[in-house]
Structures are given as C-alpha cells and as structure tokens.
Amino acid sequence: MPSDLYGEPSPEEGLPEPPAPEGPGLFGFDDPPPAAAPAPAAPIIAAAPPPAATPTPYRVLARKYRPQILDDLIGQEALIRTLRNAFARGRVHHAFLLTGVRGVGKTTTARIIARALNCVGVDGKGGPTADPCGVCPECVAILADRHPDVVEMDAASNRGIDDVRELREALRFRPAQGRQKVFILDEVHMLTEQAFNALLKSLEEPPPNITFILATTELRKVPITIRSRCQTFSLKRVPEERLRAHFQGIAVKESASIDEGALAMLARAADGSVRDGLSLLDQAIALAGETGAVSTESVRDMLGLADRALVFDILEAVMNADLPLAMARMAEGHERGAEPLTIMQDLLEQTHMLTRFAAIPALREDMALPENERVRGAALAARLSVPMLTRAWQMLLKGLEEVLAAPDRRAAAEMVLIRLAHVAEQPTPGDILKRLEAGGAVAAGGGAPAPSGGGAMRAQANGPLAMTFAAPAPAPAPLPQPREWREIAALASAANQALLHAHLLHDVHPVRVAPGQLEIRVRPQAPRDLGAQLKALLEAQTGNRWTVALSNAEGEPTLAEQSRTAETDRRSAAQSHPIVQAILLAFPGAQIEAVRDDSVDAYGLKPVIIPDEEPEFPEFAPPEAESAGLEFPEED
C-alpha cells in the first residue's frame, strides 16, 4: 500500500483525510492544504510571527568602553606624548615595558601600539602611525584578537623556559600578514629566572620586524637586565576626579543617572583603576534596575561601606570621650551592613585627613574634597591637636590588625573604640611635660613638680617616650689652633677624610696635646702610616708645622669610649630625674628611647673651658723623634 514520506497511508487510497492544521506549520507558516481536500468552512489562518532575532551578547562596560586610540587613555598624558613623538619621528623602540597597578590600561596600550605599528590606513597605503584608523584589515583583525602577527602570552601560566623557547622559534619567521610582528607578554614578572635568561638575547637584538611589549604590575620583580633593554613606561593611577568625570560620561551613554555621592564612592573604591571602577559601575547600574537611577544608598549597600557622616560621628564621639554615642553609631553602621573592618579603614582615612588639616590649614580649601567633608573636617581638626590625632592614628593602625585577626570583628572594632574614647581624656606627653614644668600634677596618676633649673625638656608624642634635655650651648670661642684631641679629630671630619676620622675616633689614645706637638698611643689595627696622615692633615688645616710622636703611655680613652661613657651618664641622670620618674609612673610600660643634650659636641662630650693664657709645655720629644713618629715600628 503506498504511503507518504512519513509512512502514513496516502489520501488516494480512500482513507480518511487528516484534519486540517489549526496553527502555523513547522517553519513558521501554514502548510498548504492537499489539492483533493475540500476547503473547510470558514478557515482560520493564524498570522506567523517573524523569526526571532538572535540577541546580542551583553558586553561589560570595561570591554565596551575600552580605549581604541591613545587619546582615549585617561590620566596617562606623559605616555601619550612620548609615543606620539616616537611615531612622528620614526624612533619607535623595539621593546616596551609597561608597568602600573591593575586596570590602568597596560594591555590596552599594548594593543594600541600593535595597531599603530601595523595600520595601513583607509586606502591601504599608510605607514606606522600614532592614530590607527580602526577600519583597515589589520586594525580590524587586531581589534578582534585574530591577527596572526599579534601574539599575546600570559606569562603567569606560560612561565617556563620551554615557552620562551617556542617564542624564540617564532621569531625566525617573517610576519604572515602585517608589517610588524608584535609579542605581548602580560604579567612578565611571573617568568622564571631561566626563562628571563633565555629571553635576554632576543629582547636585546630582535629581527627588524619584531616588537616586544611587556606588561607587569610588579616592576621590582623584573630583572634589571630585562628593564635595561626596554623603554619603561609607568602608567599612573587615575585621580578620583578624573574617574568621577569618566564614570559620569559613561553613565550618560548608558542612559543611567547617578548621584554625586555614588560617583565619589565608586571612584574611591576603584583606587585609581579604571577597569575596577567600570566593573563597579556596571554592578551599580544593574542594581538600579529598570529605572537606571543609581543612588548613593544603593552604592553604599553594594560596597558594604559606612556613611561618611556616620564615620565622622564615630570619630567625633570617641575624640570627645562620648562612648555611648560612638557605640550607638557603630551599631547603626552594622545594621546597615557596613563591615567593621571597613569602618576601621574609614576611620583611619578620616584621621589622616584631619591630621593634614591640623598640620597644614591651607589644605582645608582643597576643592577636590566634597564640601561636607571639608567643612565638617576642618571644624573637627580645629578642636584637635596634632599629637592627639597622631596618637589616634597609631591606635587605629594597631586596632586594624586586631580586627583582621579577631574571630569576631565587630567585638574587636568596639574594643578599639573603647580604647580611643578612654585615652581621649588622657593628656599627651607634651601636655604632661608642660604641667610638670609649671608645677602641676599629672592627670593620670599625678606627678611631681619640676625642679628649678636644669634647662628645658622636650618629649615626642609618638612611639616610645623620648626625653630630650636641652641646655643653651655656650658661645663658641675662636680656636685658631686645635688644643684638644677632639678638635684634631674634628679636622679630619671637616676635611671629608672619613677613614682617617674613623681611625682617630676608635684606634687612637691621646697622651698629650700642645700647640704644634702631639703625642699619641695607637692600637695595632691602625694603619702603619697613620702618623704621616695625621701630620699632613694638621699642617694642611692649621698652616703650621706639627710634631707627631708615638708613645707607650696609657693615655686617655679613645673618643668612641669617651662618647659611650658620656651617653651612659646622661641616661642615668635622665632615669633618676623627678620629672622622668613621674612620667614613667603615669605611663606604665614607657621607656626612655633617647637622651639628647644640646650643649654637647658632635662626640657627645661637654665643651672644655680652656684658659686664655696657655701654659708653656716642655719639649716632650727630641727633634729626631719627629721622623721616627711618622711610621710605626715593625711588629714581631
């Protein structure tokens, strides 16, 4: 029995006719009815919908708005100017090394250079240019990442010597399509030492139609032998104001509206990276939904940030020792989803800004900062001193480490706030010294009144307690001729004879010093011609003839020994000083870091008062001892 294509009986055999189709056929339109079939009454023919268009894949903003020419790069004016001049003068180097943080345009710049080297122009007759046309076959192929002569290699995953050997083999062949073969090595610092060594010769003397472009985020990990063979360009972090303007322009093109506060948060979170910022902007626009309105609150929630006003409230509360308010605002930030670690980082940033305002008041007029931060920050900085802000910075920095290591970060952050509020009521070391010198008492634990006399006293507010005893230095008296051993040693220092000065400091015991006459005892490690060097120095510096004689007498300690003894005596005196004892009592764990006396000389010794009339010294060495004193006797 004959059948149709699908094995069903045909209508010619008198079998029942299949029912007429009620909708579109297999290919989107009604199948034509068989010729022998009678037309059904009042047929209903449905209109076929047009074939569905294939949706265009979404391109993220970082790729959609990737720079195509040099002028599209933002914040890299020095790089653009150098490359333009190089192409204009035909002085394009054969190897470039691009360095900078992530997302500032290193790989993008490398691709632009590759197109600039291979562009043939719209008419197909152009040469290398700093402004590639973007429409010629070479530019189109490079833009589509399918040009056979532009090879990108990820050095992070192809880092061995075998990979570099394959690259060297590829150097033997001429470009297959373009004018110049370009090798782009990304994250080049990941190459092994053997791979770097294998690359050296090719990088130094490549064929004339080969260009290397290396990119790295860790310039110091690239061997100096590689860097010396490349032109190095350091791509800068893009400033926040440039990022804000760039993001605003892209938001307009994407038909999205974005608040100024949201722009500032995105630019700050990008940390100078255009790609990171565009990724965050992409996420923020997606969060806004169909409205396309990106609000400050939504970006704050997206980034897990604390409100800048909330951070100011916390900082102001702890600096005013208002712990309940600080804890309440901290809890509010936690309810909003702000991470404790982020709040600590924001507090550090605000403390740094306030310290700059307090130290350099002119910075309060910096228009790059938001007006609210400038006004409120300037008012808070006016009430706080630099020592107080510096102490808060150190405590927050230490607290940041604790929050990172703590199992409960919120609890650790609250402990930091408690400490900050507690010390806010404590005076700084400088305040304690002023009170003690004025005869007052220390607020934390009391103290002893300062004794009269003894010179002024200073203290450092940072780090370990450092006391400085300062006394007015006596007016220097004219000394046409050196009359002390330390003055003779100082002549060597003034004459820039560092080695001789070191020997005079550590290896010479002065026995007797008189105008034009010197008697010393030297240690065995001193050079044999030390006497001759010393005699030449004295005669050159004083203009008089000197006799230098050696002696076996014990003599005085060396200058280095005298300096160490004087330092020990000063530290002991400072340790027993009533003011120091009061401060050490007020600050348990404090230590004397250094003791400085402004009345001592460069060797840490007190000046010696020499009478105006010099006593007459007897001749202590015969004339023939002069020549004998110039050389040291031979050792057995």
pLDDT range class, residue 372, cuts 50, 70, 90: low
Q: Could you confirm whether domain 308-423 is CATH 3.10.25.10?
A: no
More confident residue, 462 or 157: 157
**Through-space distance between the first and last CA atoms of the chain, rounded to whole angstroms:** 132
pLDDT range class, residue 214, cuts 50, 70, 90: very high
Asked whether the beta carbons of 258 and 247 are under 8 A apart, the reply is yes
Average pLDDT, the chain: 80
H or E element: which one contains 186? strand 181-186
- The beta-strand segments (E) located in 261-329 are 293-294
Tell whether the model's pLDDT for residue 621 goes beyond 80.
no
pLDDT range class, residue 271, cuts 50, 70, 90: confident
Residue 365 DSSP one-character state: G
Asked whether the beta carbons of 131 and 69 are under 8 A apart, the reply is yes
Asked whether the beta carbons of 347 and 388 are under 8 A apart, the reply is no
Residues 6+ apart with CB under 8 A from 387: 428, 429, 430, 431, 461
Question: Is the pTM higher than 0.85?
Answer: no
> How does pLDDT run across 216-252, given as a tens digit for each residue?
999 999 999 999 999 999 999 999 889 999 999 999 9
pLDDT range class, residue 606, cuts 50, 70, 90: confident
Residue 54 DSSP one-character state: P
Beta bridge partners of 214: 97, 185
| Confidence (pLDDT) at 212 | 94
Read off the pLDDT of each residue in 468-497 and give the average, rounded to a whole number: 70
d(CA 281, CA 308): 20
Tell whether the model's pLDDT for residue 155 goes beyond 90.
no
| Confidence (pLDDT) at 242 | 92
Residue with tokens 């719209």: 122
pLDDT range class, residue 133, cuts 50, 70, 90: very high
Residue-wise burial string across 475-487, b where 16 or more C-beta atoms lie within 10 A, e elsewhere: eeeeeeebebbbe
Q: Is 137 exposed, middle or buried (0-12, 13-18, 19+ CB in 10 A)?
A: middle
- % of the chain with per-residue pLDDT over 70: 78
Q: How far is CA 93 from the centre of its chain?
A: 29
Pairing of strands 293-294, 95-99: unpaired
Asked whether the beta carbons of 472 and 532 are under 8 A apart, the reply is no
Tell whether the model's pLDDT for residue 624 goes beyond 60.
no
| Confidence (pLDDT) at 443 | 45
In single-letter form, the type of residue at position 243 comes to L
d(CA 129, CA 136): 13
d(CA 338, CA 306): 5
Tokens of 567: 């330092």
pLDDT range class, residue 462, cuts 50, 70, 90: very low
d(CA 601, CA 479): 15
What is residue 571's three-state secondary structure?
A: helix
d(CA 319, CA 392): 9
Rounded to a whole number, what is the largest CA-CA distance in the chain? 156
In single-letter form, the type of residue at position 266 comes to L
H helical segments located in 119-259: 137-143, 161-170, 193-204, 224-227, 240-253
H or E element: which one contains 416? helix 409-423
| Confidence (pLDDT) at 460 | 40
More confident residue, 293 or 439: 293
More confident residue, 8 or 482: 482
Read off the pLDDT of each residue in 369-396 and give the average, rounded to a whole number: 83
Q: Is 348 exposed, middle or buried (0-12, 13-18, 19+ CB in 10 A)?
A: middle
Write the secondary structure of 597-616 as one string of H (helix), E (strand) and C (coil).
Answer: ECCCCCCCCCCCCCCCCCCC
More confident residue, 433 or 455: 433
Of the candidate ranges 387-401, 462-476, 514-528, the one whose mean pLDDT is the lowest: 462-476
| Confidence (pLDDT) at 226 | 92
CATH number listed for the domain at residues 61-234: 3.40.50.300
d(CA 78, CA 236): 10
Residues 6+ apart with CB under 8 A from 30: 21, 23, 24, 45, 46, 48
Residue with tokens 């120095």: 537
Assigned CATH topology for domain 240-303: Helicase, Ruva Protein; domain 3 (1.10.8)
Integer angstrom CA distances of residue 349 from 69, 212, 428, 635: 36, 41, 22, 66
Overall CATH class of domain 485-562+609-628: alpha beta
Task: Delimit the domains of the chain by residue range.
Answer: 61-234, 240-303, 308-423, 485-562+609-628
Residue 521 DSSP one-character state: E
Integer angstrom CA distances of residue 339 from 70, 301, 302, 417, 634: 40, 11, 12, 15, 76
Read off the pLDDT of each residue in 247-260 and give the average, rounded to a whole number: 92
> How does pLDDT run across 507-547, given as a tens digit for each residue?
999 999 888 889 999 998 888 888 888 888 888 888 888 98
| Confidence (pLDDT) at 5 | 40
Read off the pLDDT of each residue in 293-320 and give the average, rounded to a whole number: 84
What is residue 96's three-state secondary structure?
A: strand
| Confidence (pLDDT) at 13 | 46
Tokens of 456: 């002024």
Read off the pLDDT of each residue in 590-602 and give the average, rounded to a whole number: 81
d(CA 165, CA 309): 58
Write the secondary structure of 478-509 as one string of H (helix), E (strand) and C (coil).
Answer: CCCCCCCHHHHHHHHHHCCCHHHHHHHHHCEE
Read off the pLDDT of each residue in 315-337 and give the average, rounded to a whole number: 89
| Confidence (pLDDT) at 498 | 86
Residues 6+ apart with CB under 8 A from 20: 33, 37, 40, 43
| Confidence (pLDDT) at 609 | 61
| Confidence (pLDDT) at 406 | 92
